[in-house]
A and B are shown apart, each in its own frame.
Chain A
Amino acid sequence: MSLLRTEMLSKEFGGVSAVDSVSFEIPPGVVYSIIGPNGAGKTTLLNLLTGIYAPSGGRIFLRGEDLTGCPPHEFAQAGVARTFQNLQVFFNMSALENVMVGRYLRERCSLATALLRTPGRARAERACREEAAELMRFVGLADWLGARAEAMPYGALKRLEIARALATQPRMLLLDEPAAGLNPAEMHEIGELIGRLSSRGHTVVLVEHNMRLVMGISDHVLVLDYGRRLAEGTAEEVRRDRRVIEAYLGSAAGSDGKARNAGARAH
């Protein structure tokens, strides 16, 4: 059974279709990439898949459960976690606490036990702290265990968001442009991290501009253009698809599709 399935998913903003009747299925355990030129509707789609936007039409199923119209926290409960293209870090907290927030759904905690800090609660708190620290080490933030989030550099914050998302123990992890703004070395490390996530059995949905990253690690690629599904298949199939080349990659598959596309759109 597919992990996630959408049926004719659409989102309009004031009559303009950002996502138009998109249907696809994501099987469990894969790295599934969503690519497309700027304004293709990738981030809108991600916002639909996490409940931040309610769809104008169509349905979303996670493991057969209809989540259409549910608020984001119910998507999280169903096992969907994400990171953000423009960082959404809790800058009023420490790095470790940011990750601990991700454990929220896994911590059984009534208001009374929280207020009174029962011995059981205090133990659970220490365990939560330790698990959050473990996740920070996993994403490569061992040096930042004691840091405040506001003191961390951009690249580290991107990883922090991944650690926070992992802390929810998601069935599906959505990464919104994890490599944007990173230098080549950092980008390589992020690619490696996604590989490690995948080998641990995580289902990763990747929205990314960087073709080298996408083509290297994706099991399956969905191409959007003007909010519609343009093509999908393995990285190799998509790379050869003539419609994709025309719409997005330009005349030759390269890593700077964005710039070429900007030129193509001008015609």
Chain B
Amino acid sequence: MRSWLASPRTGGLAALAAVIALLPLGLVNNYFYEVAILVGLNAIVCVGLNLLIGYAGQISLGHAGFFGLGAYGSAILSARFGWPPLAALIAATLTVALLAHVIGRPILRLRGHYLAMATLGMGVILSIVAATEDHWTGGPDGMSVPPFTLFGTSLSGEGAWYSVVGALLVAAVWLSLNLIESPTGRALRALSGSEVAAEVSGIDSARQKLMVFVISAVFASVAGSLTAHYSGFITPSKLSFFHSIELVTMVVFGGMASTYGAVVGAAVLTTLPQLLTVFKDYEMVVFGAIMMGTMIFMPKGLVPSLGRLAGTAVGALRGGKGVR
């Protein structure tokens, strides 16, 4: 029983589900719900992005591109072609997966700064396309998106959205935790530990990197589609470089190579700008400062640092053995 509770895959997931189930008690009005839903949607993106950045050690500065592509894919197919939103979401997701596969193949050969530059370029191109192809996307003014419907009933009301996004977030975390504790997940972590050792252990690094790149793009795309339907309106800012940086900051702040860290990072950094509306003009400055502070004071990120601290404390209580 104790090990069941201590395991991130079972105890942690139960804790997350409990938080999501109990949170509505504190959500006194629609605005709170709205923030909570945005937290959930961003957290789904971050859980996927953390697989790529945190576990596999590959950077992407263009993930807002996949998020936005999912959003615009859903928006265009449902608004301009009258597709059912679910079909639009699936089609957009498959398109993004295919695109990530095609783009990922050449650029994932690059490492470090070069990979960062290439993904940044990819994001910038997608954002320019969204801003200029105005007969499809509405250009910089954005476009409106019809509400999400599922088998004829439309998903409306903050409570309904909250439940759906909450369930999806639990599912995303579950998938991520499962993956990490599998041969594939260990292969990804091995890549960030030592690529040459991973290769000589039989891991096809190019294939694994591509796979996790596509998975993380799919997470972003699904969250993007839902965000578009939920907010009912979408602008190219969703694909912007700044949004990519926001996503990376959430992952890094919450804790790289920590699935729950990604969720916490998304929660804190989605909520923070809402609390600091006075600093609206300085949002990017605040994010930059948080990124710098994280790198300097807790390079492992919030959740792993707290976990380590707790481990040390428990070790001290148990007779000063500490954590090995």
Contact = CB atoms under 8 A, between A and B. Distances in A.
Interface of A: 50-52, 71-73, 75-77, 80-82, 84, 88-93, 97, 100-105, 107, 109, 111, 113-117, 121, 125, 128, 147-148, 151, 161, 164-165, 167-168
18 contacts: A52-B196, A72-B196, A73-B202, A73-B203, A76-B200, A89-B197, A90-B193, A91-B193, A92-B192, A101-B203, A102-B201, A104-B187, A109-B183, A114-B183, A114-B185, A116-B178, A117-B182, A151-B324
B182 A84 contact: no
Nearest to A80: B200
Interface in B146-205: 175, 178-179, 181-187, 189-190, 192-194, 196-205
B199 A72 contact: yes
A101 B178 contact: no
Nearest to A116: B178
A212 to B, nearest CB: 28
A71 B200 CA distance: 9
A77 B201 CA distance: 8
Given A73-B201, A114-B179, A115-B179, 5 more contacts: A77-B202, A88-B197, A93-B189, A109-B184, A151-B324
B201 A164 contact: yes
Ranked 4 nearest A-B pairs via Cβ: A90-B193, A114-B182, A76-B202, A88-B197
B211 interface: yes
B226 interface: no
Interface of B: 9, 175, 178-179, 181-187, 189-190, 192-194, 196-205, 211, 257, 324
Interface of B is mostly: helix
A68 to B, nearest CB: 17
A75 B324 CA distance: 35
B317 to A, nearest CB: 19
A89 B194 CA distance: 7
Contacts of A97: 186, 189
Contacts of A84: 196-197
Nearest to B187: A104
Given A93-B189, A109-B183, A111-B184, A104 B201 contact: yes
Contact of A90 (B190, B199, B205): B190
A84 B193 CA distance: 14
A121 B324 contact: no
A88 B178 CA distance: 26
Contacts of A114: 178-179, 182-185
A93 B186 contact: yes
A52 B200 contact: yes
Contact of B211 (A52, A92, A111): A111
Contact of B193 (A92, A151, A167, A168): A92
A220 B132 CA distance: 70
Contacts of A89: 193-194, 197
A141 to B, nearest CB: 14
Contact of B182 (A125, A147, A167): A125
A166 B148 CA distance: 53
A100 B186 contact: yes
A182 to B, nearest CB: 20
Contacts of A107: 183
Contacts of B257: 92
Given A88-B196, A89-B193, A104 B182 contact: no
Nearest to B181: A125
A105 B202 contact: yes
B178 A104 contact: no
Contacts of A113: 182
B194 A88 contact: yes
A109 B181 CA distance: 12
B182 A121 contact: yes
Given A114-B182, A114-B185, A121-B182, A76 B190 contact: no
A76 to B, nearest CB: 4
A133 to B, nearest CB: 15
Given A88-B197, A92-B193, A73 B205 contact: yes
